[in-house]
Amino acid sequence: MAISTSKQFLFLLFASLALLQCGTSRNSSSSETNNKKSYTPLENQFTVPGQVNASDIVYSVKLHRSGNNLSAPIIQLNSSQKLRLSFDLLEFESRQLSISFTHHNPDWSRSSLAEDFYKEGYFNLMLPFGRVSRTERPDYRNYQYEFPNENIEFLVSGNYMLQVEDADSGNLLFSMPFFVSENQGGIISQVETVIVPREEGRVSHNPESIFETPEFIATPQFDLEFYYVQNQFWGRAKEAGELDTSTPGEVRFEVTRNNSFVGDYEFQLLSLTDLTQQDPQILEYDPSEIPPRVVLFEDVQGFTANRNQTPLSNLSGANTSLSARYGNVHFRFDTDRQLNNDSDIYLVGDFTNWSLRSDYRLKYHQDTDRWRTNGIIKTGTYAYKYVVVQNNEIKDLALDDSFTRSRQEYHALVYYRDPDRFYYRLLQTNNFFKNN
């Protein structure tokens, strides 16, 4: 009897020690987890939430309506319109790539629709093999894909995201947003210029629109949402805060004055027609390096901004010819702005899909008193700008000269919260411009 009691005591003792150790391990693990810094997305991003930027081998990503490489990625539902995706992989060997599509709400959260409700076709589609470039140093492969097609059809309107993956490894290479509209109802838009300067001394633009509602819209003030987007920066869509439904059959909408757009938004222009020293923007050219080293004339804050009336959407971006070449392009920036220790300067533009990338962070060189960065860019025509990142926020007006009068592009988007189908339908879009 004493032996049995002793065994029970030892068993309880070891069990208690084991539980104590597990509790300590859990507390330690929890403490380690709490000590790790959580990732906080940057505020004021140009790209939409959840959009994945190109990997270090993907370049020159373009998505536009087929037949018009200057158009926004918007097509009409149940029409013959198609989107064309084009991008390069800087490598000679071919890869098997797949593409898939997801449906989203206006804020780019995933919608609740099942996959077979918003599209008809395969879940993952294989992309055609890439075409080898006709140039070398470096070699690259160009991939192109048009959709919808016999393998993929979209059944509903709304916001969509495409994802391109390496089919062998399953790694996501990049994702891009696009839109499918129903073309329901009529819409006209204009932009009011507010001369009274904003807080940062900039002219304001207030887009305003009139939407003729379809007959099935019973309560537009509750069922509809309206958004504006400037210069195809889809991640910066602003919801219209002022609605007027007093006229039967139409809704007047506009952004509130305290949420207006910058009317003199500034950007730089890079036109690399050819990689030679005869190009007026190229100071130095060294073809012995791979890719060739290209040094541009320096950008000076307040003097080198683009001052013509060409909007960002009128720039063709990367040259899609297989004979187009890549260069290692070096940027130099001269600014008198004093930065805090917690601030950085980044270069963003069409060649980065307007996303912040660590390899485009500028470094200050004390010997020349200039900020510098470089990146691999294909010949073409691009818009770009220098932005400050401070306190986890993109301050894209900090390095502007405030005197640019460039043409601004706008899109109005009208969404309907379908009470029967429980998703957001994109009824109508409208593209318009404003000169300064």
- Kindly list the structural domains of the chain, giving each domain's residue range(s) and its CATH number in brackets, ordered by start: 58-181 (2.60.40.1930), 186-264+408-434 (2.60.40), 268-395 (2.60.40)
**Preceding omega of 291 cis (within 30 degrees of 0):** yes
What is the pLDDT of the chain when averaged over all its residues?
A: 88
Q: How many C-beta atoms lie closer than 10 Å to residue 372's C-beta?
A: 16
Residue 181 in contact with residue 74, Cβ under 8 Å? yes
For residues 399 and 419, what is the distance between their CA atoms, to the nearest angstrom?
A: 46
CA atoms 69, 73, 74, 77: torsion sign = positive
Tokens of 324: 């187009």
Q: Higher model confidence: residue 256 or residue 198?
A: 256
Token pair for residue 289?
Answer: 């390096």
Structure confidence by residue, pLDDT tens digits, 70-101 = 899 999 999 999 999 999 999 998 899 999 99
Say if residues 189 and 207 touch (Cβ distance below 8 Å). yes
* Cα gap 272→377, rounded to integer Å: 9
Per-residue pLDDT averaged across 239-259, rounded?
Answer: 96
Indicate if the pLDDT at residue 130 is higher than 50: yes
Kindly list the distances between the CA atom of residue 281 and the CA atoms of 268, 295, 384, in Å, as whole numbers in the listed order: 12, 9, 14
Q: With 90 as the cut, is the pLDDT of residue 312 above it?
A: no
- The pLDDT value given to residue 307: 53
More confident residue, 403 or 105: 105
Give the angle 237-242-243 at the CA atoms, nearest 5°: 110
Dihedral sign for Cα atoms in the order 174, 156, 222, 243: positive
Whether residue 402 is predicted with pLDDT greater than 80 in this model: the reply is no
At 54, list the tokens. Answer: 């190109």
Is the pTM higher than 0.95? The answer reads no
Per-residue pLDDT, 94: 87
pLDDT tens figures, 20-77: 343 433 343 334 334 434 446 788 899 999 999 867 899 999 999 999 988 999 999 9
- The closest alpha carbon to 47, from 353, 374, 345, 423, belongs to 353
Q: Where are the alpha helices (DSSP H) in 178-229?
A: 220-223
pLDDT classification of 139: cutoffs 50, 70, 90: very high
